[in-house]
Amino acid sequence: MSTLRRLEDEILSADKLQRDGTPSASIAILEDGAISTHIISNGSEDAETIYQCGSISKAITAMGVARMVDLGHLSYDTKIVDVLPAHKPSAFLEPQSVHLLDLVTVRMLITHTSGLTQPYEQGHPRDVETLPTKEQSIQGHSSTNLIRLQFGSLPGAQLLYCSGSFTLLEIAMEHITGKTFAELMQELVMRPLGMQRTFYGDLPDDEKNFTKPYLNGFQPTPIGVHRFTELAAVGLWSTPTDLLKLVSAIQQSIHSEGGFLKPATAHEILISGAVTFRSGAAQHRCGLGWYSTFTTFAHRGANPGYHSYVFGFFDQADLSLHRSGFSIMTNSLLGLESIRPIFSAMLYLKGWPRQKLMPSSLGVDDYVPFAAPEGTEIDEAWREWKGQWDHDWSLLEVQGQPALQLKDLPPVKLLPAAAPVQTFDDNNTNTEIILVADGLSATAIRLTWADNDRIIELLQLAKTVLKKRLS
C-alpha cells in the first residue's frame, strides 16, 4: 500500500479531516524525483484540481527572479531603483524616507530585509469589475484594502515580512522585460518545467476544475474565490504536483550543471544567501524565496479559504533524500491546523527524519502530531519520566498505559504519535518519545534526554509551552 493511501486509511480519514475543519487535502509526494498524488476528500477533487497558493506565490516569483539572474537581466545586488520606472518611488514613499530606497536591493526584497512593510492583501470579490492597479496597491489607494508600502525599519537592519516587496519586484520584472508578469512567469518557470496547471491571475472562464474556499470543513467563504492585483505576492493557482516539479528542479540544480538554474544560483537561494533570524524560541533561515534549514527548504501560503505548504530536502552531505519532498494544499481557512500533523505523519510513514521545526512556519517551534495507527506500541522507556514534574502537571501510569494529569482533573490517556523520532546517542538507545493526548488535538508531550538528564516538554498547538529538566 502506498504511503499516501496509508495516510488516509490508518491516520486521517476524509471524515476526520472535514470534522477538523478542512474539506479537502490534495497531497503529492516526491521520492527520488518521481511524484505520486492522493486526495483526502469527500468531494470531487482530483490530482488536477487547482488551489490558490497564497504566499507560495512569492517562492515561485523568486524562481522567476533567479532565472532572470541566470539570464543576465539583473543580479541579486541590483538596486531596485535602477530597475523601476523613474516615477514609482515618489508615488508611495514619504519625502523623509524616499532616499532609503536607494539602498534597497533585489536580494533585500526577496529576503524581507529591505525595511519595507505592508500587510497581507485580502483580495477582492471575484465579480468586482475593476481591480486596483499595482501602483494603487503600493500607494494604499482607497480602492484597495491595504495601507501603503512604507519603511518600518532601515534597509538590512532586520527581517520584516513584507508582502508589498514582491509587488515592487513584479513592477520591476515587467519594466525590464516589457512583458506582463503572468506571461513572463510562464516563459521563465512554468513552461520549462511542464507546470501545466499553474498560473498567476484570475481563473479563466472555462476553468471548472478548481476547489472552492471554505471557512471550515462545511461552510464556504461568504464571497467565494478572491481576486488579487498583487500576483507576485499571492496570485498563484497550482497543484501539489506542479509545486513539486519546481522543488525537484531546484534540488537537481544544486547538484548538476545544465539544470533549471545554475548550481551557484541554486546554492545562493538555499544556503549562502539565507538570512538567519529568531522567531519566538526557534531559529529560522530565510533564503532567496524559500525558508530553510541546512538540509530542507519550504514555503507556506494562505489566501482567504486556502492554506498550502511545499517542502523539500537538499542535504549536500546525505544524498539519499536530496530528490525528495512533498506538498499539501487545502481549501480551508483552518487548513494549517491539518497541514502540521499531515506533515509529521508523512515523515513518520516514510521513515524520513523528524523535523521539529517546519521551515516557513514562523512562530512555530514544534507542533502536535496525529496519533499513530491503532495498535502501535509505546516505547516502554516512558516510565522513566513518571511522576509530578511541575506544580500543575503529572505523568501517570493508568492500567499500564501513560496518562497526563493537570492538577486534580481526571487523567487523559496518552497515545503514541504519528511522528518520526530523533536519536540522541550513537547506540540508538536514547530516542525521543512523543505522546499525544487522546481526544485533545492540541496537546502532546515530548520526552527527551540532555546530558543524561530527562527532559519533558508540553506541546500545545504550535508551541513548546513548558520544558522541565528532571535530574
DSSP labels, 205-240: TT---BPPPBSSSS-B-TT-SEE-S-HHHH-EEE-H
Q: Let me know whether 384 and 297 are in one domain.
A: no
d(CA 153, CA 97): 10
Q: Let me know whether 179 and 307 are in one domain.
A: yes
Q: Let me know whether 384 and 330 are in one domain.
A: no
In a domain, 256, yes or no: yes
Among 334, 357, 389, the domain-final residue is: 334
Q: Let me know whether 322 and 205 are in one domain.
A: yes
Q: Let me know whether 133 and 242 are in one domain.
A: yes
Q: Per the confidence metrics, is the pTM higher than 0.75?
A: yes
In a domain, 88, yes or no: yes
Q: Let me know whether 330 and 384 are in one domain.
A: no
Q: Which residues contact 264 (CB under 8 A, 6 or more apart)?
A: none
- 453-421-32 Cα angle (round to 5): 150
In a domain, 342, yes or no: no
Q: Let me know whether 324 and 387 are in one domain.
A: no
Among 334, 366, 397, the domain-final residue is: 334
Q: Let me know whether 28 and 104 are in one domain.
A: yes
| Strand 150-151 relative to strand 116-117, pairing | antiparallel
Q: Cell 508589498 belongs to which residue?
A: 164
Q: Let me know whether 190 and 312 are in one domain.
A: yes
3-state secondary structure of 184: helix
d(CA 58, CA 35): 23
Q: Let me know whether 291 and 158 are in one domain.
A: yes
d(CA 267, CA 288): 10
In a domain, 25, yes or no: yes
Classify residue 71 by its DSSP letter: T
pLDDT tens for each residue of the chain, 471 residues long: 699 999 999 999 999 999 999 999 999 999 999 999 999 999 999 999 999 999 999 999 999 999 999 999 999 999 999 999 876 666 677 888 889 999 999 999 999 999 999 877 788 888 888 899 998 888 888 788 788 899 999 999 988 889 999 999 999 999 999 999 999 999 999 999 999 999 999 999 999 999 999 999 999 999 999 999 999 999 999 999 999 999 999 999 998 888 999 999 999 999 888 888 766 656 678 899 999 888 899 999 999 999 999 999 987 667 788 899 999 999 999 999 999 999 999 999 999 988 887 877 666 778 899 999 999 999 999 999 999 988 899 999 999 999 999 999 999 999 999 999 877 666 656 789 999 999 999 999 999 988 878 999 999 877 777 888 876
Residues in the chain: 471
Q: Cα-atom radius of gyration of the chain, to the nearest Å?
A: 23
Q: Let me know whether 34 and 155 are in one domain.
A: yes
Boundaries of domain holding 41: 1-334
In a domain, 79, yes or no: yes
d(CA 394, CA 389): 6
The CA distances from residue 84 to 81, 101, 105, 166, 167, in Å, are 5, 11, 12, 13, 11
Q: Which residues contact 292 (CB under 8 A, 6 or more apart)?
A: 270, 271, 274, 285, 286, 298, 314, 359
In a domain, 370, yes or no: no
Among 334, 360, 389, the domain-final residue is: 334
Residue 185 belongs to a domain with what CATH number? 3.40.710.10
Total domains in the chain come to 2
In a domain, 205, yes or no: yes
Q: Let me know whether 329 and 387 are in one domain.
A: no
d(CA 362, CA 284): 8
In a domain, 131, yes or no: yes
d(CA 151, CA 169): 16
